[in-house]
Chain A
């Protein structure tokens, strides 16, 4: 019995050492998926709880994507639970909708305006938070959680090709919003004229 307790403590220590360093990453993704702080914190706690329960069967490859995949399942399950009430859950609808939108909407302005300008951290966070799923998730996993394409594919449960096209779309949308925000702040001439560059 004492041996069991020792083994249990050892297991906890191993889990803590492996999983706790990724708390900020897990929390960051939770903030963008859940959109409010309270829900994000609850999701993170549930994620760690599940991770702890399944830690015995964890065989890698890497702890961070494993935790993020659990978090994502937690969040999706929560959306599923709420779906009858409010939140749209069928991402495929969003994606096919986005498919029909022109891929690039760019300001047709002088060349230097086409350049992406510096934005402050708060603005970048807001612009990312305003992206529709699954593009928001893709960009957060890449730029904030710093995952490789392969790891993003694992977390999102899609082929790498889909990750690549989502990232391309996410960055195109972000760039358009970025430039629009820039135009709005600096008030240089008329706002974005919709252009079809391709």
Chain B
């Protein structure tokens, strides 16, 4: 996160509009940047003062009476006061339709997240729940093999995507097998890997949350979670591996996906 992004997003932070991941990003940036830290403190104070002040105005009694009288009259008999206007649909909306230069830069990466945070958050929660469920005895694998040529065909007809199954043994991520899981009421492919004692579930589906070109990192209930989109697929990796190692896993999968010969 840089200062330009932070300048916009710190307001969303103050207004409680950021999801946990972005809130942390802003807080991290602000903690290390005196300029943005000073702005956040000042704008937060201003917001607090405005919230505490009785700024909302009370409609005068005679206006309230007018409105109530209006409601007691059949609408057909009420006419507009003055020429309060049939709108001429002039350039107002043209003017408003123009976003500002500033927003365009930030909006591309952030706004979708803000808007869709609820859905994204729900799916992240479900993905982690599915991961935790899979750790219970007997729930981990439907097809148990380290042979990717067995795992991949097994998904045929069970999910509507051909999930990438990659052999990463050389990188010390061992393929354990695959499983059919359900997230957001849709069947998804879950491919299970292991590094040392840590299990990794890689969930793959056509649509699973907001499309992301850059990997989104979150941590839920102590599990690290990575979501990215590639080749028309949404991929989620969940594990109790430390973040750096899970990032390494994501990179291996992503680069294998870019070289079709490795993902069969």
Contact = CB atoms under 8 A, between A and B. Distances in A.
When A and B form their complex, which 3 residue pairs have the shortest distance between CB atoms, in order from nearest?
A: A161-B107, A92-B95, A165-B103
A68 interface: no
A33 interface: no
B87 A143 contact: no
B43 interface: yes
Given A46-B81, A164-B8, A24 B46 contact: no
7 contacts: A73-B87, A90-B95, A92-B94, A99-B101, A114-B38, A114-B42, A124-B53
A144 B56 contact: yes
Contacts, number: 201
Interface string B49-77: 11101111111100110111011101100
Interface in B12-60: 12, 15, 17, 35, 38, 41-43, 45-47, 49-51, 53-60
B81 A175 contact: no
B78 interface: yes
Size category of the B interface is 35 or more
Contact of A171 (B3, B43, B56, B63): B43
Most A-side CB within 10 Å, residue of B11, B43, B94? B11
A44 B70 CA distance: 12
B49 A118 contact: yes
A42 B81 contact: yes
Interface in B148-165: none
B240 to A, nearest CB: 34
A194 interface: no
B99 interface: yes
Given A124-B49, A143-B47, A159-B107, A45 B66 contact: yes
Interface of B: 3, 7-9, 11-12, 15, 17, 35, 38, 41-43, 45-47, 49-51, 53-60, 63-64, 66-68, 70-72, 74-75, 78, 80-88, 90-104, 106-107, 110-111, 114-115
Nearest to B60: A41
Given A95-B95, A171-B43, 9 more contacts: A48-B70, A52-B78, A90-B95, A99-B102, A115-B42, A124-B50, A158-B96, A161-B104, A171-B11
A58 interface: no
Contact of A27 (B11, B59, B92): B59
Interface in A11-51: 12, 15-16, 20, 23-28, 31, 41-46, 48-49
A184 interface: no
Contact of B100 (A45, A99, A150, A174): A99
Interface in A49-96: 49, 52-53, 73-74, 76-81, 83, 89-93, 95
Contacts of B90: 80, 83, 89
Contacts of A27: 57-59, 63
Given A43-B84, A165-B106, A156 B96 contact: yes
Given A91-B92, A134-B96, A161-B103, A31 B85 contact: no
A76 B87 contact: yes
B42 A116 contact: yes
A120 to B, nearest CB: 8
Contacts of A132: none
A156 B83 CA distance: 23
A164 to B, nearest CB: 5
